[in-house]
Amino acid sequence: MKKTIRLSVLMLLLPALCPAQSTSSSYLSELEREVVAELNFARQKPADYAKLVAARLQHFNGKLYEPPGEIAVITKEGKKAAQEAVRFLQRARTLPPFQPSRGMSRAASDHVRDQGPKGRLQHEGTDGSQPWDRVNRYGDWRVTVGENIAYGEKSARDIVIGLIVDDGVSNRGHRKNIFNPEFLAVGVAFGPHKKYGTMCVIDFAGGFIERK
């Protein structure tokens, strides 16, 4: 058996202009680029993405998710959360793609390096920093900022589907972050985690001005 866990946080600021982001993402690892692509697939073609989630329903056995050839995952809601996610995606409207940000990805990476070796499971850094503090190290965020963290997943698709299904999270906060129309910029970092094996930090903002 394996367990996965997800954390979500959101902060709002007064509206402001949202500068365009760089489309280059060479600073990201292959898996991190795949996470950005997967997020954008879900935002731009939610009805198609619903089919990917629906295909997983057959692998539930009560509260166990048992994908073929993989370790079974203990869920809190069973297939109920996945079914609800499918309905959400089928009704969702198309949203603009996220533009990757180097500075925001550095902020996400800071948190992976801080939390991973210690096996911590929270948005607050060991220095007391919150997601908006870490993002501010590398530039200025606009409109709103948020953060999703996924633990224990090894592929971009599993990371993103897990966040969209949002099993056990009553307000579906991770899903709300992904489909928040005010979020236009994204930073991603993936790395090892002492307790769950892996962690992926995804920072969101309405816009971001990179510090030069």
- Going from N- to C-terminal start, the domains of the chain cover 5-44+93-210
pTM of the model: 0.90
pLDDT of res. 89: 99
- Residues 6+ away with beta carbon under 8 Å from 61: none
Q: Which CATH superfamily is domain 5-44+93-210 in?
A: CAP (3.40.33.10)
pLDDT of res. 212: 82
Do the Cβ atoms of 163 and 6 come closer than 8 Å?
Answer: yes
Q: What CA dihedral angle connects 139, 13, 43 and 136, to 10 degrees?
A: 20
Q: Each residue of 8-55: pLDDT tens digit?
A: 555 555 444 344 344 568 999 999 999 999 999 999 999 999 999 999
